[in-house]
């Protein structure tokens, strides 16, 4: 069993206050090629690399990219300029979540940032964050922000960062970026269990008890990529080797002897019909319904992106984002969503 350790690093964050949300953003000028306060050009990607997508409680879409964060308000896409590294330069956004107060939290390549109304606050290692290279975030039932990084896990309660001790794993030598302490994904399910995907396996945390779920369930690989809870309360687990479904504490291997795994299973999503979608080996898209596994065949002239993340939005539309930009699936066709839409 492992419990969170106390930390005396009180936060003195770097804050940016703006008179209104519009002034804190910017728009793309196709003539000058610069971000300015007018409408985006008709032929520009949101970013060539979109790392994550999120929809907040007000219905606004957020895009985390290698060029920072974008927020969609109405039909206007706003670039959020105040999310910066400690040296004042831009960052790559890797995850976005919302807390119970409506504050948006963004994890990126140089810390975390919060957006509350027109105020942006940036937090770094100098404020107590365990590591500046942040890969994932989750807000728990107590409104604490769990922060998974290249160098381990910590929890932020609004005042201080508290390191959370996890077993050390191994580095994935097939990836360009990996570490023994990396946390890939954090997810709290409807029963209050927090699922931690690490390079030391899968762990759960509930009632102040840390459990090695990989050992308990019989998952062999160290490398756990993501967990996802479907509408039935079943937990899906993507790993370097297989996709698993956990039902009534029984682990089902969905992909064994059905898919040749190389780079592993990535993002998982459920559509409005209850069909599970998942990415395998970065380039292949599959669906799973009624115990039947099928590959979604991409057309040569309509392949969409190399998918990093998927989202079903509040209008039940399916989004696919990654290397190549942002796309929606409409009538089995990938529609490239540019800076001016279509929204």
Q: What are 59's two structure tokens? A: 């219905």
| pLDDT band at residue 87 under the 50/70/90 scheme | confident
Q: What is the pLDDT of residue 2?
A: 38
Contact call for residues 43 and 338 (beta carbons, < 8 A): yes
Contact call for residues 161 and 148 (beta carbons, < 8 A): no
Range scoring the smallest mean pLDDT among 36-40, 120-124, 243-247: 36-40
Please give the residue that has the higher pLDDT: either 42 or 14: 14
Please give the residue that has the higher pLDDT: either 15 or 204: 204
pLDDT over 60 at 191, yes or no: yes
Contact call for residues 240 and 199 (beta carbons, < 8 A): no
**DSSP 8-state class, residue 255:** S
Q: What is the pLDDT of residue 37?
A: 36
Q: What are 6's two structure tokens? A: 């106390």
**pLDDT (mean) for 175-199:** 97
Whole-model pTM?
0.89
Q: What is the pLDDT of residue 108?
A: 98
Q: What percent of the chain has pLDDT over 90?
A: 84
**29: phi then psi, degrees, rounded to nearest 5:** -100, 110
Contacts for 249 with CB less than 8 Å, ≥ 6 apart? none
**pLDDT (mean) for 276-280:** 98
285-312 per-position pLDDT tens digit: 999 999 999 999 999 999 999 999 999 9
Q: What is the pLDDT of residue 332?
A: 95
Q: What is the pLDDT of residue 15?
A: 56
Q: Report CA-CA distances (Å) from 206 to 50, 156, 194, 211, 313.
A: 33, 17, 7, 8, 29
Half-sphere exposure of 341 (CA within 13 A, CB side): 7
319-332 per-position pLDDT tens digit: 999 999 999 999 99
Contacts for 294 with CB less than 8 Å, ≥ 6 apart? 286, 287, 288
| Positive or negative torsion for Cα 173, 267, 152, 112 | positive
Contact call for residues 212 and 204 (beta carbons, < 8 A): no
Q: What is the pLDDT of residue 263?
A: 87
CA–CA separation, 49 and 70 (whole Å):
13
DSSP symbols for 168-225: -----TTSSS--TT-EEEEEE-TTSPEEEEEBTEEEEEETTEEEEHHHHHT---S-EE
Q: What percent of the chain has pLDDT over 70?
A: 87
4-28 per-position pLDDT tens digit: 333 334 454 655 454 333 334 544 3
Contact call for residues 136 and 309 (beta carbons, < 8 A): no
Q: What is the pLDDT of residue 22?
A: 39
Q: Tell me the β-bridge partners of 276.
A: 270, 288
CA–CA separation, 334 and 258 (whole Å):
26
CA–CA separation, 135 and 143 (whole Å):
19
Contacts for 164 with CB less than 8 Å, ≥ 6 apart? 2, 4, 5, 146, 152, 153, 154, 155
Q: What is the pLDDT of residue 43?
A: 58
| pLDDT band at residue 89 under the 50/70/90 scheme | confident
Pick from 180, 256, 274, 174: which is nearest to 218 by CA?
A: 256
Give the three-class secondary structure for 125.
helix
pLDDT over 90 at 236, yes or no: yes
**103: phi then psi, degrees, rounded to nearest 5:** -75, 135
**pLDDT (mean) for 195-208:** 98
What count of other Cβ atoms lies within 10 Å of the Cβ of residue 112? 25
The three-point CA angle 226-107-120 to 5° equals 150
**249: phi then psi, degrees, rounded to nearest 5:** 65, 10
Q: Maximum Cα–Cα distance for the chain, whole Å? A: 59
Q: What are 145's two structure tokens? A: 């922000």
Mean pLDDT of the chain: 90
């Amino acid at each position: 069993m492992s419990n969170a350790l106390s930390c005396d690093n009180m936060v003195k964050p770097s804050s940016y206050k703006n008179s209104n949300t519009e002034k804190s953003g910017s728009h793309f000028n196709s003539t000058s090629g610069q971000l300015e306060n007018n409408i985006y050009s008709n032929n520009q990607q949101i970013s060539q690399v979109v790392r994550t997508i999120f929809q907040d409680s007000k219905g606004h879409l957020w895009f985390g990219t290698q060029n920072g964060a974008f927020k969609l308000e109405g039909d206007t896409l706003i670039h959020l300029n105040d999310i910066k590294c400690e040296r004042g330069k831009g960052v790559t956004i890797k995850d976005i979540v919302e807390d119970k107060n409506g504050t948006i939290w963004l994890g990126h390549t140089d810390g975390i940032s919060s957006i509350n109304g027109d105020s942006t606050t940036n937090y770094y290692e100098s404020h107590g964050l365990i590591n500046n290279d942040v890969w994932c975030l989750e807000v728990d039932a107590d409104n604490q922000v769990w922060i998974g990084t290249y160098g381990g896990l910590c929890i932020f309660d609004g005042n201080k960062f508290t390191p959370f001790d996890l077993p050390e794993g191994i580095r994935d030598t097939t990836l360009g970026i990996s570490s023994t302490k990396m946390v890939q994904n954090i997810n709290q399910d409807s029963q209050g269990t927090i699922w931690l995907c690490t390079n030391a396996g899968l762990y759960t945390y509930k009632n102040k008890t840390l459990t090695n779920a990989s050992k308990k369930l019989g998952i062999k690989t160290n490398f756990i990529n993501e967990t996802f809870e479907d509408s039935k309360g079943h937990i899906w687990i993507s790993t370097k080797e297989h996709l698993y479904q956990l039902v009534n504490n029984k682990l089902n291997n969905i992909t064994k002897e059905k898919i040749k795994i190389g780079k592993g299973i990535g993002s998982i999503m459920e559509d409005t019909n209850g069909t599970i979608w998942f990415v395998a080996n970065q380039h292949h898209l599959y669906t799973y319904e009624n115990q039947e596994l099928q590959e979604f065949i991409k057309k040569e002239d309509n392949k969409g992106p190399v998918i990093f993340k998927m989202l079903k939005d509040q209008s039940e539309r399916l989004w696919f984002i990654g290397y190549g930009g942002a796309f929606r699936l409409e009538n089995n066709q990938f529609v490239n969503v540019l800076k001016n839409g279509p929204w």
